[in-house]
């Protein structure tokens, strides 16, 4: 009875019959039968999912890939069925996935990329069970492309590159097949029969050539593409929240390589050797300078390993902390207990800082740090940080403007810093006053009285002999703090050396001073010793200075846009105080730039420069030097020419007239050269054609100049027929050459080239 009711009553309702007819006749139900296209689309989606797993170190592929395959098989098999229950279940699943997505957003307020990627993967898995139309396959292609984009923003290594290349290799034939399907070529039986003769494998050389062309063009555009500041959105990558147990005062520094025994609050203040300056050995993994006290009577070297990856709008020195008190064999932070703790809002990762005041022009620089190996609880950042997005609810700031975390920086921790970095204007700093505030003189002019007279005398002698040594080949006196600091740093680079072996420099005795031994006994020392010596020398002549420790920019990878920082990139420099402008660093270490990396006025094409530096690292030094000289000279000429041209418009009416005349002349010769170049390319192309093809093309070029050009859609015979109403002589020659061309190309007949060529010449002369 139930079956009778269902079959005879419900199915006969007009609404049901109309619905069935609409479903069967609706153009939306036109299904896609191409199995090759479906397989390639599935491969694209799988590559997008795998790319996210590789970039974010997730495991979505373990469940998404098998389910996507099952869904694609199901969808292909039942592509002609309405599948209403399946659609209903898919809708419910999508709502559940959307709810889970909003739930994840609560824990990832500042970085929703991974949550978005997971949502897209879930939606694609559900969508794979209902893809009857070509449009549905197009949605999957878009999702695969978006997943690849999400993976690209998450990726920090070149492990993403093979996936990107494989995705490109699959995408090319996918787009070809999709375009053929849009044109309806696969619906014709004739086309299908011809397609059997030219399978996908026969087109592999074409796809390989297209792949190479697209890849080369993409890399070329990437290399020369201007690099404009990013981070237009004010949300930045941050790790998931980290709970902090117990009270955090910010007084302790936890350096795993240099921890003394004691309670947690005193951990990290240094080993016994670091307090007394007794001989010791450097830890293999951790930089000795990241502590409240550092002992420069240690010997040894670290084993290189990657500790951070940094994405920054500008290259810079990743500053960690600074020291104000010189102990004779090292440094210490005299006000280590005078730190300020700052709490963030429970609804945001943002913590506002108070950067030092400066009268110099500044630029906002955003940096995102991802920790790869364990580090101390000191937070690297560019100078003058004003905002930090950090996963802990509290951070601390010391008197030297160093940032501290309540927990040690562990692997995969990510945070973002926004710094207001001042420009380094040599002219402004050279005019800075020499009257220092009392709090600056109190802490940054300290020097042991035992060595002060001796160091001051040597420093004054070096400055007095500046003109005689003529290091800079400029005849002037050192009358500013900036020039004195610059010259002393350069002097140390040129007159003192670094030992070849970590243990060649002997340990200091109990009563021996590091600076005194460096300057008067050993004529050199280890890299950080140079910075210590420069700092003490500046203090000896009344210039406030301090020692600052941090990381160099590291090795820039132009393909990932990340600076790869190793533990061996950590070192110390000298910071000098300039009234009204603040602290600026000088690097006296040999083989280091005298001025540490900082912001520049224009870094638009910095990716091209960084790409060359990356490539040059793999080339032999002679080859690198040759290319540097050649391209350096070329770019120098270009820069001077551009500067001269724009300077004309600043020289009054005569300069403007000269500039316009020069521009017009260059434009004319450029246009003339472009015309000649096109003609040369055309002649070269014509010379490579078969004789009959060349004659036919010559005729088309001549008729085009007479206003009788051939439309691309016309066949040769249609073109000849369309001009039968013109002058008989012209129509006859066009017809004869067109007939001969068709007979030669499609019939294999040998034309009378000499006769046809003669007729074309006579026609040209008559016209």
Q: Residue 11 pLDDT > 80, yes or no? A: no
Residues 113 and 178 reside in one and the same domain: yes
Mean pLDDT of 428-447: 92
CA distance 162 to 167: 8
Q: Which long-range contacts (CB under 8 A, 24 or more apart) does 642-648 make?
A: none
Residues 23 and 57 reside in one and the same domain: no
Residues 107 and 15 reside in one and the same domain: no
> Domain for residue 145, yes or no?
yes
Residues 67 and 149 reside in one and the same domain: yes
CA distance 104 to 96: 12
> Domain for residue 264, yes or no?
no
> Domain for residue 334, yes or no?
no
CA distance 354 to 293: 25
- CATH code (residue 489): 3.10.620.30
Contacts of 122 by beta carbon, 8 Å cutoff, 6+ apart: 64, 93, 97, 100
Quick one: pLDDT band at residue 325, thresholds 50, 70, 90?
Answer: very high
Residues 586 and 735 reside in one and the same domain: no
**pTM for this structure?**
0.69
Residues 512 and 478 reside in one and the same domain: yes
pLDDT attached to residue 705: 80
Residues 6 and 47 reside in one and the same domain: no
Give the sheet arrangement for strand 378-379, strand by strand.
Answer: 340-343, 394-397, 403-404, 378-379
Q: Residue 314 pLDDT > 70, yes or no? A: yes
HSE at residue 87, side-chain half, CA atoms within 13 A, is 8
CA distance 323 to 338: 13
pLDDT attached to residue 13: 47
Q: Fill in the DSSP letter of residue 189.
A: H
> Domain for residue 239, yes or no?
no
Q: Mean of the per-residue pLDDT values for the chain?
A: 81
Q: Which range among 193-207, 323-337, 555-569, 738-752 has the greatest average pLDDT?
A: 323-337
Q: Residue 737 pLDDT > 60, yes or no? A: yes
> Domain for residue 270, yes or no?
no
Residues 455 and 582 reside in one and the same domain: yes
The secondary structure of 39-78 as a DSSP string is HHHHHHHHHHHHHHHHHHT--THHHHHHHHHHHHHHHHHT
Residues 17 and 136 reside in one and the same domain: no
Q: In this predicted model, what pLDDT tens digit does every residue of 443-453 receive, in sequence order?
A: 999 999 999 99
Residues 6 and 135 reside in one and the same domain: no
> Domain for residue 267, yes or no?
no
Q: How many CB atoms lie within 10 A of CB 233?
A: 6
245-275: b (≥16 Cβ within 10 Å) or e: eeebebbbbbbebbbeeeeeeebbbbbebbb
CA distance 366 to 611: 21
CA distance 89 to 87: 5
Q: How many CB atoms lie within 10 A of CB 179?
A: 10
Three-state DSSP class for 422?
Answer: strand
Q: Residue 123 pLDDT > 50, yes or no? A: yes
Give the residue, 20 or 754, on which the prediction is more confident.
754
Residue 286, phi then psi, degrees to nearest 5: -120, 140
Mean pLDDT of 32-52: 90
pLDDT attached to residue 4: 40
Residues 62 and 179 reside in one and the same domain: yes
> Domain for residue 442, yes or no?
yes
- Tokens for 684? 């070269």
- The C-alpha R_g of the chain, in whole angstroms, comes to 37
Distances (CA, A) of 1 to 7, 8, 10, 109: 10, 10, 13, 59
Residue 258, phi then psi, degrees to nearest 5: -140, 70
Contacts of 59 by beta carbon, 8 Å cutoff, 6+ apart: 53
Rounded to an integer, what is the distance from CA 91 to the centroid of its chain? 39
Q: Domain count for the chain, please give it.
A: 4
pLDDT attached to residue 617: 60
In contact, 630 and 526? CB cutoff 8 Å: no
Q: In this predicted model, what pLDDT tens digit does every residue of 342-392 receive, in sequence order?
A: 998 888 888 999 888 888 889 899 999 999 999 999 999 999 999 999 999
Residues 2 and 58 reside in one and the same domain: no
Last residue of one domain, picked from the residues 187, 206, 228: 187
Closest C-alpha to 582, from 333, 335, 384: 384
Q: In this predicted model, what pLDDT tens digit does every residue of 361-373 receive, in sequence order?
A: 898 999 999 999 9
Q: Fill in the DSSP letter of residue 505.
A: S
> Domain for residue 646, yes or no?
no
Last residue of one domain, picked from the residues 132, 155, 187: 187
Q: Are strands 325-326 and 330-332 parallel, antiparallel or unpaired?
A: antiparallel
Closest C-alpha to 596, from 513, 543, 531: 531
Give the lowest-confidence range in 10-14, 92-96, 142-146. Answer: 10-14
Measure the N-to-C terminal CA separation of the chain; round to a whole number of Å: 93
Distances (CA, A) of 595 to 142, 538, 552, 570: 47, 16, 12, 16
| Residues spanned by the domain of 10 | 1-27
Q: Which range among 77-91, 231-245, 611-625 has the greatest average pLDDT?
A: 77-91
Strands (E), 610-682: none
CA distance 385 to 629: 38
Mean pLDDT of 696-712: 81
Last residue of one domain, picked from the residues 187, 215, 231: 187
pLDDT attached to residue 718: 82
Rounded to an integer, what is the distance from CA 280 to the centroid of its chain? 41
């Amino acid at each position: 009875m139930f079956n009778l009711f269902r079959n005879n009553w419900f199915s006969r309702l007009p609404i049901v019959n109309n619905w069935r007819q609409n479903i069967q006749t609706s153009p939306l139900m036109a299904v896609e039968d191409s199995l090759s296209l479906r397989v390639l689309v599935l491969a694209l989606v799988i590559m997008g999912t795998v790319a996210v797993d590789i970039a974010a170190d997730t495991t979505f592929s373990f469940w998404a890939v098998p389910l996507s395959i099952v869904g694609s098989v199901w969808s292909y098999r039942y592509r002609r069925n309405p599948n209403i229950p399946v659609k209903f279940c898919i809708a419910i699943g999508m709502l559940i996935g959307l709810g889970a997505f909003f739930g994840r957003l609560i824990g990832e307020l500042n970085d929703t990329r991974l949550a978005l990627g997971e949502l897209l993967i879930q939606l694609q898995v559900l969508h794979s069970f209902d893809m009857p139309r070509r449009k549905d396959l197009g949605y999957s292609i878009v999702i695969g492309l978006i997943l690849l984009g999400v993976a690209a923003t998450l990726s920090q290594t070149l492990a993403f590159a093979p996936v990107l290349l494989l995705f490109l290799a699959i995408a090319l034939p996918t787009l070809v097949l999709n375009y053929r399907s849009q044109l309806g070529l696969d619906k014709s039986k004739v086309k299908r029969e011809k397609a059997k003769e030219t399978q996908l494998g026969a087109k592999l050389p074409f796809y390989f050539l297209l792949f190479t062309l697209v890849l080369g063009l993409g890399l070329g555009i990437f290399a020369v593409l201007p690099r404009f500041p990013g981070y237009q959105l004010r949300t930045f990558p941050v790790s998931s929240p980290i709970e902090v147990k117990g009270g955090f005062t910010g007084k302790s520094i936890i350096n795993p390589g240099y921890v003394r025994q004691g309670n947690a609050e005193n951990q990290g203040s240094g080993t016994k050797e670091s307090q007394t300056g007794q001989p010791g050995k450097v830890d293999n993994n951790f930089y000795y300078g990241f502590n409240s006290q550092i002992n420069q009577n240690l010997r040894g070297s670290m084993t290189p390993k990657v500790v951070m990856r940094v994405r920054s709008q500008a290259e810079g020195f990743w500053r960690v902390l600074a020291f104000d008190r010189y102990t004779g064999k090292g440094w210490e932070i005299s006000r280590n207990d005078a730190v300020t703790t700052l709490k963030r809002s429970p609804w945001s990762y943002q913590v506002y800082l108070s950067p030092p005041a400066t009268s110099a022009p500044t630029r906002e620089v955003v940096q995102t740090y991802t920790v790869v190996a364990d580090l101390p609880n000191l937070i690297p950042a560019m100078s003058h940080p004003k905002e930090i997005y950090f996963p802990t609810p509290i951070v601390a700031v010391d008197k030297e403007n160093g940032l501290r975390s309540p927990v040690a920086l562990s692997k995969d921790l990510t945070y973002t810093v926004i710094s207001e970095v001042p420009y380094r204007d040599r002219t402004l700093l050279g005019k800075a006053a020499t009257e220092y505030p009392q709090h600056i003189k109190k802490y940054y002019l300290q020097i042991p009285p035992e060595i002060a007279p001796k160091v001051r005398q040597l420093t004054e002698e070096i400055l007095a002999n500046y003109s005689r040594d003529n290091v800079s080949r400029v005849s002037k006196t050192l009358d500013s703090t900036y020039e004195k600091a610059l010259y002393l740093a350069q002097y140390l680079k040129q007159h003192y050396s670094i030992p070849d072996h970590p243990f060649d420099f002997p340990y200091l005795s109990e009563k021996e001073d590091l600076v005194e031994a460096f300057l008067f006994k050993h004529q050199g020392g280890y890299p950080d010793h140079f910075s210590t010596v420069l700092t003490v020398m500046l203090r000896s002549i009344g210039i406030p200075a301090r020692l600052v420790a941090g990381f160099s920019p590291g090795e820039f990878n132009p393909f990932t846009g990340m600076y790869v920082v190793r533990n061996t990139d950590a070192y110390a420099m000298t910071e000098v105080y300039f009234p009204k402008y603040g602290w600026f660093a000088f690097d006296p270490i040999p083989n280091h730039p005298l001025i540490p990396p900082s912001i520049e006025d224009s870094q638009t094409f910095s990716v091209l420069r960084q790409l060359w530096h990356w490539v040059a690292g793999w080339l032999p030094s002679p080859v690198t030097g040759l290319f540097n000289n050649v391209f350096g000279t070329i770019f120098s000429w270009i820069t001077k020419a551009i500067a001269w041209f724009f300077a004309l418009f600043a020289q009054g009416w005569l300069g403007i007239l000269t500039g316009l005349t020069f521009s017009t002349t260059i434009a004319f010769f450029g246009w003339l050269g472009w015309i000649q170049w096109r003609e040369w390319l055309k002649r070269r192309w014509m010379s490579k054609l078969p004789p009959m093809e060349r004659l036919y093309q010559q005729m088309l070029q001549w008729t085009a100049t007479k206003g009788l050009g051939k439309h691309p859609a016309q066949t040769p015979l249609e073109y000849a027929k369309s001009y039968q109403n013109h002058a008989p002589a012209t129509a006859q020659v066009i017809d004869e050459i067109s007939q001969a061309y068709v007979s030669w190309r499609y019939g294999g007949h040998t034309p009378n080239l000499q006769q046809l060529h003669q007729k074309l010449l006579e026609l040209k002369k008559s016209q």
